[in-house]
C-alpha cells in the first residue's frame, strides 16, 4: 500500500480525489490538507463522503509516497517552496503551475496527457495534470495534428459550474447560473497556450486556435466542438482517429452523435466527427472533474507506479 496525501482536499478536485482513492486497492490516504478548513471532517464539507471517508482535514502534512496538489494557480509553487517534499515522492499537480514550464527546483514535471505521453509518464516523479478544457480539445485534435493536418481551428466549448471551483462567485451562484448560458474569456482562455504547446509539437505547421468557452447551466461536464477544413473523406478521418486511440482505454470514437451524459461521472472521453463538403467538426465530451482533473490524475498515478491504467477508474456514467 502506498501512502497518499492530498493538498487542497477541501475543493472540488480534491474531494473528487478522495472519492476515487477511498476505493483504490493500492493506496492508503494519510492526510487531507486544508488551511482554511483544518480540524473539520471532510464528510462535514461533503456529506456524500459519510461512511466513505471520515478523515479530519489538517494543516500539518506528513510523509507520503504520493502527493496530489489541488490548489489554485501559482499556489502549488508556493506550497512546495514552503514544505519539504522528498525527491522520491511522486507529485501530481492538478493546477497549471507546471504545464508550460515544467522545471521547478530539482524536478522536471512531465505533461500528464496519457494518450500521448504514456511512455514518459511511466516511472515519473513529477507530473503536471492537464487542464479540463485542454484535455477535451487536445483529444479532439491530436490525431489530425499527428498527420500535420491542422491549420486554423475554431473551437467552442461549454463547461459545468464545478469548473469554476468551490468558492462562490457571481457567475456560479445558482440564481444566476440556472437557466443561463454565457461566453467568457473569449479567445483568451488560459488553456489555449497549453493546447497549442502540445499540438504544435506534433503538427508540422503552426496551429491557430480560436477558442470561445461557455458557462453552462449544469454542474459537471465539458462538451467541445472544433471546426477545421480537410479534403479527407469522413471514413478516412474516423479510421485515423480509431488507429490513434487504439490503445487508449478511456477514449471512444463514436459513429453516432454523442451526449454529455455518456461521460459524466466517468474518466472517459467520447468523440464524434461530422463532415460537410471540406468542413470537419470534431465533438468531444468529458467530465471536467474526472477525465479533466482528478480521474486523469489517478490515471497518471497508475501509469507512473506501473499499475493497471484503469485501476480504480471503472466508473459508471451517472445518466444511464
The pLDDT tens digits for 21-30 are: 999 999 999 9
- Contacts of 250 by beta carbon, 8 Å cutoff, 6+ apart: 267, 268, 269, 291, 299, 310, 313
The answer, yes or no, to whether residue 174 has pLDDT greater than 80, is: no
pLDDT above 90 as % of the chain = 88
CATH of domain 2-129+293-305: 3.40.50.720
Q: What is the pLDDT of residue 15?
A: 96
SS3 content of the chain, % helix, strand, coil (to 5): 30, 25, 45
Q: What count of residues does the chain have?
A: 320
Judge if 2-129+293-305 and 132-286 fold alike in CATH terms: no
Residue keyed to cell 456524500: 48
92: β partners: 68, 127
- CB atoms closer than 10 angstroms to residue 112: 28
Catalytic: which of 53, 70, 132, 269? 132
- Decide yes or no: CATH 3.30.360.10 for domain 132-286: yes
pLDDT, mean over the chain: 94
Q: pTM of the full predicted structure?
A: 0.95
CA distances from 246 to 190, 221, 240, 241, 250 (A): 30, 24, 10, 8, 10
* 197-253 pLDDT tens trace: 999 998 778 999 999 999 999 989 999 999 999 999 999 999 999 999 999 999 999
Helix (H) or strand (E) holding 237: helix 234-244
Domain residue ranges in the chain: 2-129+293-305, 132-286
The answer, yes or no, to whether residue 296 has pLDDT greater than 90, is: yes
Q: Is the dihedral of CA 300, 302, 303, 305 positive or negative?
A: positive
- Gap between the Cα atoms of 196 and 209, Å rounded: 7
Contact 194, 100 (CB under 8 A): yes
132 has catalytic annotation: yes
- Gap between the Cα atoms of 286 and 222, Å rounded: 5
Amino acid at each position: 500500500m502506498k501512502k497518499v496525501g492530498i493538498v487542497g482536499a477541501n475543493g472540488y478536485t480534491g474531494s473528487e480525489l478522495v472519492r476515487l482513492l477511498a476505493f483504490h486497492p493500492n493506496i492508503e490516504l494519510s492526510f487531507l490538507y486544508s488551511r482554511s478548513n483544518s480540524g473539520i471532517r471532510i464528510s462535514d464539507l461533503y456529506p456524500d463522503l459519510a461512511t466513505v471517508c471520515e478523515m479530519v482535514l489538517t494543516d500539518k502534512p506528513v510523509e507520503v509516497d504520493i502527493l496530489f496538489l489541488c490548489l489554485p494557480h501559482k499556489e502549488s509553487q508556493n506550497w512546495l517552496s514552503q514544505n519539504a517534499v522528498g525527491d522520491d515522492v511522486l507529485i501530481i499537480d492538478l493546477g497549471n503551475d507546471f504545464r508550460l514550464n515544467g522545471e521547478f527546483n530539482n524536478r522536471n514535471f512531465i505533461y500528464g496527457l496519457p494518450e500521448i505521453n504514456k511512455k514518459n509518464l511511466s516511472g515519473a516523479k513529477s507530473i503536471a495534470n492537464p487542464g479540463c478544457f485542454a484535455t477535451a480539445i487536445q483529444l479532439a485534435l491530436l490525431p489530425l495534428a499527428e498527420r500535420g493536418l491542422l491549420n486554423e481551428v475554431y473551437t467552442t466549448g461549454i463547461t459545468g459550474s464545478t469548473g469554476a471551483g468551490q468558492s462562490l462567485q457571481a457567475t456560479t451562484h445558482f440564481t444566476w447560473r440556472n437557466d443561463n448560458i454565457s461566453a467568457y474569456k473569449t479567445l483568451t482562455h488560459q488553456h489555449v497556450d497549453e493546447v497549442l504547446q502540445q499540438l504544435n509539437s506534433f503538427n508540422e505547421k503552426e496551429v491557430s486556435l480560436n477558442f470561445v468557452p461557455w458557462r453552462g447551466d449544469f454542474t459537471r461536464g465539458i462538451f467541445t466542438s472544433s471546426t477545421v477544413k480537410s479534403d479527407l473523406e469522413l471514413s478516412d478521418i474516423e479510421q485515423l482517429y480509431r488507429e490513434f486511440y487504439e490503445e487508449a482505454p478511456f477514449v471512444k470514437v463514436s459513429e453516432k452523435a454523442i451526449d454529455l451524459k455518456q461521460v459524466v461521472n466517468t474518466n472517459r472521453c467520447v468523440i464524434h466527427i461530422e463532415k460537410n463538403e471540406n468542413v470537419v467538426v470534431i465533438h468531444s465530451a468529458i467530465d471536467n472533474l474526472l477525465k479533466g482533473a482528478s480521474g486523469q490524475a489517478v490515471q497518471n498515478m497508475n501509469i507512473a507506479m506501473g499499475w493497471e491504467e484503469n485501476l480504480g477508474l471503472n466508473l459508471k456514467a451517472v445518466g444511464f
